Amino acid sequence: MFDVVIIGAGFAGSVLAERLARLKNKKILIIEQRRHVGGNCFDYVNDHGIIIHRYGPHLFHTEYRQVFEYLSQFTDWQLYEHRVLAKIDGKKVPLPFNFESMEILFGREKAQQLEKKLLNYYPYGTKVPILELKKNQDEDILFLADFVYKKVFLHYTAKQWGKRPEEIDPSVTARVPVLLGRDNRYFQDPYQAIPSKGYTKIFENMLNHPNIKILLNTSYREIMHFDFQEKKIYLFGLLFSGPVIFTGMVDELLNYEFGVLPYRSLEFHFKDFDLPFFQEVATVNYPNDHDFTRITEFKHIHPVENNKTTVVYEYPRAYVKGEIPYYPMFTDEARENYEKYREKAKQIPNLILVGRLADYRYYDMDDTVKRALEVYEESFS
């Protein structure tokens, strides 16, 4: 009945389903445990006509032209450049922390002194990770590094990850740098936009093919069995020898044989207000105050004219098995255990792992799409 089985209808699974159905004429079965496609990118229009990102804000940005052009087949785009403020010492300053942030907090004279020092060491326009700045021996730069470390990153990181920045993999802390310039955009990628009708429409268009069948609200365990001893996969009780693309938690797939891989989860509190706007920009971070890390207002992302607005408060928390694992936690032990899982998964020759959870990587949306397109070329072309 099917040539390929794909577990998960997020970007990784959906891109591969679309490519295989459209270009290879393969018959695809997608198994999705949620009641909707799109994974964590799922969005919907609420009672106020506002597009809401159910699992937290998703802002598309990429340096990969091929990724942008690929997704453009399934959506029109609305130009959007994300802006973020952080509340520091009672003032709201741009993030990434930049020259304008310094002026607001330190005054023009001190800020200009710091700018000059920074540009002696680093090129204008570059992003310098905060932990890299802390290695500098210049007294003024160390002052800035300590200030930013304590006021912007320390408590935010503790809330987000449950760890101090030094305990987190550098690939994660590098995502929150100091920007040497006055560019107040949160991202500097050449392609920045929002799908004009939301992300869910991208998935619906991508999966709208007669060769693609989708089982929603279904755990793959209900209809599939992975036998790692026999190195075989069974679908509906029958041996299935075609490719099986798995995009979920690899530790769950292998019954936690090498232990539970660590993740972080999130809790979202949505609130409506009888106001045209609740805050100045789409996202305001609260690194030092409150238990939540940030508030995002969706009307800044998807503009609509009315006197109602909806925001979401984001509360990071420890992952509990059975909940949604939003972020892999990169520790040496976790990496070692993941490699054990990956090697064990290779024992089944028709099993392919791809995606943030299956690869145990901190992918953005564009990274996931790029990875899925690469897997298609490597495994099916």
Set out the domains of the chain in order of their start, with CATH numbers: 4-37+207-261+329-380 (3.40.50.720), 93-179 (no CATH)
Give the residue from 141, 128, 136 showing the smallest Cα distance to 170: 128
Structure tokens given for 4: 């390929």
What is the model's pLDDT at position 242? 97
User: Per this entry, what is the length of the chain?
Assistant: 381
Q: Which of 3-17, 210-224, 236-250, 317-331 has the lowest mean pLDDT?
A: 317-331
In this model, does residue 174 exceed pLDDT 80? no
Quick one: pLDDT at residue 163? 80
Structure token pair of residue 105: 């907090």
Q: What is the predicted pLDDT for the residue at 298?
A: 98
- CA dist list (Å): 371 to 58, 60, 252, 359: 18, 16, 22, 10
Task: Give me the torsion for CA of 248, 250, 256, 257, rounded to 10°.
Answer: 160
CA distance 33 to 18: 19
DSSP codes joined into one string, 12-35: HHHHHHHHHHHHH---EEEE-SSS
Q: Tell me what pLDDT residue 116 has.
A: 96
pLDDT of residue 158: 86
> Taking 90 as the threshold, does the pLDDT of residue 173 lie above it?
no
pLDDT > 80? residue 19: yes
Average pLDDT over residues 75-99: 97
Amino acid at the residue 16: L
Residue 210 has pLDDT above 80, yes or no: yes
Task: Identify the pLDDT of residue 172.
Answer: 65
What is the distance between the alpha carbons of residues 297 and 307, in angstroms, rounded to a whole number? 13
Residue range 273-313, pLDDT digits in tens? 999 999 999 999 999 999 999 999 999 999 999 999 999 99
What band does 331 get if pLDDT is binned at 50, 70 and 90? Answer: confident
pLDDT tops 90 at residue 50 = yes
Q: Name the percent of the chain lying above pLDDT 70.
A: 97
Taking Cα atoms as reference points, which of 373, 281, 369, 273 lies closest to residue 41? Answer: 369
Alpha helix locations (H) across 107-198? 108-121, 130-133, 139-148, 155-161, 170-173
pLDDT on residue 330: 82
- Report the pLDDT value the prediction gives residue 164, as an integer from 0 to 100: 72
> Quick one: pLDDT band at residue 33, thresholds 50, 70, 90?
very high
The two tokens of residue 243 are 């490719």
Condensed to tens digits (0 to 9), the pLDDT of residues 114-137 reads 999 999 999 999 999 888 888 899
Look at residue 316 in the predicted model and tell me its pLDDT.
96
- What pLDDT score does 321 carry? 86
DSSP tag of 8: -
Output the pLDDT for position 131.
Answer: 81
Residue 165: predicted pLDDT: 66
Picking from 31, 69, 4, the residue whose alpha carbon sits closest to that of residue 380 is 4
pTM of the model: 0.94
